[in-house]
Structure 1
């Protein structure tokens, strides 16, 4: 059976690192490239973080491309410290930025996405784990890109107006609402969305997390280290918006989108909706509105994930940290 071709677009924080390792551990997947975008931290840190993950997994042959440093509209972006200022828990020694800089491809991430999709028409699955700026720029430069994709998987957005940054908006979408709007209007390929509420409702136990990171492998030790001092992995009750809405538990946000791309059977329920991202309003900006009756008269609908086979997902996560592979 031929391998699934995948491009991962990421703002590599701790959950992105876990998601990337899940993709790398899947024998049915060939990761063509990892493209980087601002989000959990600045884009230079994101590139370094991806290279760290690939180094731990001994997969440094996968090319890494630097992409967008900020949103389409507006000035500088206020990065959040959910996963530390560097995106990986602020516990790793830098090793010198020059060490990582020479490993980054000179081609821009947006150009790389366009080139790779055109080289493999109808074969590439694009998985977006951060703000959607690179994807929005790609479709503006080459409007044929969506029709040449096999499918698109997104971790981002929300479906109930429960926000984790503003009262109504999820992090990846509110960091660049205009790009989220463009992608969900112009990418007419099969599109699957793991919303914030979906990931939180399908959380795992902290007991499972302890088992996950206690494996005797390089990848597990890496994950244990980068989560060791990060407040997002605190067991204290009521930490953050996740606990306030959904209760305590381990939520590897981005890994759900990658798992769904690797093996669609891990998603046990999904619903097809017309959707649109709200761009206006003090509270509503960045919110993904579901339109089940299609009052917007859109020709394209997306698949919104609802429930997950947690046993299968857990097994995929365990396998993701059994790296490096021979």
Structure 2
């Protein structure tokens, strides 16, 4: 069976690293490129983080492209250094590669997306794990880009107005609300959304994380290192944040979108409806609004996930850290 071609657009924090591991471990997936965007860290750190994950999995042949370093409009003043650390991977990596920049492709991420998808029309799944800036830029450079995609998977946004960086907005969308707005208005390809609430409501037990990172493999040891001092993977820190809304549990946000791309049966319930990203509200800017009653009169609907097979999802996570794969 032919492998599914995938481009991963990422702001590579710890959960992005976990998502990339899922894709690299999946026998039915061929990652044709990784495009980098600001978000969990500055874009140069993101590039280095992606290279590190690929190196650990012995997959350095996959090309990595540097993309946008800030939002389409205005200044970038929301970097969440308290969540995944300044570098996106928990600020625990000491031996950074001084030659990393030479390993990044010269082509801009948006141009690379357009080229790779044009060369493989209607065959490429795009998995967007960070702010949607590169995607918005791609459609401005080539308005026909989305119709050449097979489908689009997004981790971001929310469905009930519960925010994690502002009162009503999820982090990825809050980093570049205009980009999120453009993608949901103009990407008419099949689109699947793993929202913040979806991830949090389908959490795994904290004991699962301990089991996950205790395996004796290079990838598991890497995940153990980068989660060791990170607030986002601290049961105590989350009691005052996420647990207020959703109760206790381990959540690897971006992994949910990637799991859905790898194996659609992971998602067991979803809503199909039009959505729009709010740009104006003083408290609700960047909030994703679901139009369940068709008041917006939009022609395009998206699939918003609501429930997943947590056992199947957990199995994908377990398999993801058993890398590098034996040749």
For residues 102-135 of structure 1, the C-alpha deviation after alignment (integer angstroms, 9 at most, x for no partner) is: 1100000000000001000000000000000000
Question: Would you say 1:153 and 2:153 are equivalent positions?
Answer: yes
Q: Is the partner of 1:236 in helix, strand or coil? A: helix
Whether contact under 8 Å (2:231, 2:237) holds in the other structure is no
Whether contact under 8 Å (2:85, 2:91) holds in the other structure is yes
For residues 68-124 of structure 1, the C-alpha deviation after alignment (integer angstroms, 9 at most, x for no partner) is: 00000002333112101100000001434x321111000000000000010000000
- Distance in 1 (CA, whole Å) between partners of 2:250 and 2:126 is 25
For residues 174-226 of structure 1, the C-alpha deviation after alignment (integer angstroms, 9 at most, x for no partner) is: 00000000000000000000000000000000111111000110000000000
Q: What stretches of structure 2 of length at least 5 have no aligned partner? A: none
Residues 1-326 of structure 1 mapped to structure 2, 5 A cutoff: 1-81=1-81, 82-96=83-97, 98-236=98-236, 238-326=238-326
Select between 75-84 and 263-272 the one with higher mean Cα deviation.
Answer: 75-84
Whether contact under 8 Å (2:213, 2:221) holds in the other structure is yes
Whether contact under 8 Å (2:35, 2:66) holds in the other structure is yes
Q: Is the partner of 2:189 in helix, strand or coil? A: coil
Structure 1 segments, 4+ long, off by >3 Å, are 237-240
- Distance in 2 (CA, whole Å) between partners of 1:170 and 1:241 is 13
- Distance in 2 (CA, whole Å) between partners of 1:120 and 1:270 is 28
- Distance in 1 (CA, whole Å) between partners of 2:78 and 2:156 is 18
Q: What stretches of structure 1 of length at least 5 have no aligned partner? A: none
Q: Is the partner of 1:102 in helix, strand or coil? A: helix
Whether contact under 8 Å (1:156, 1:194) holds in the other structure is yes
- Count, aligned residues: 325
Whether contact under 8 Å (2:76, 2:175) holds in the other structure is no
- Distance in 2 (CA, whole Å) between partners of 1:261 and 1:312 is 13
- Distance in 2 (CA, whole Å) between partners of 1:219 and 1:196 is 25
- Distance in 2 (CA, whole Å) between partners of 1:282 and 1:293 is 25
Q: Is the partner of 1:164 in helix, strand or coil? A: coil
For residues 137-192 of structure 1, the C-alpha deviation after alignment (integer angstroms, 9 at most, x for no partner) is: 00111011111100000000000000000000000000000000000000000000
Whether contact under 8 Å (1:154, 1:194) holds in the other structure is yes
Whether contact under 8 Å (2:232, 2:238) holds in the other structure is no
Cα-Cα RMSD: 0.9
Quote how far apart the aligned CAs of 1:308 are.
Answer: 0.4
Select between 240-249 and 3-12 the one with higher mean Cα deviation.
Answer: 240-249
Q: TM-score, normalised by structure 1?
A: 0.98
Whether contact under 8 Å (2:231, 2:238) holds in the other structure is no
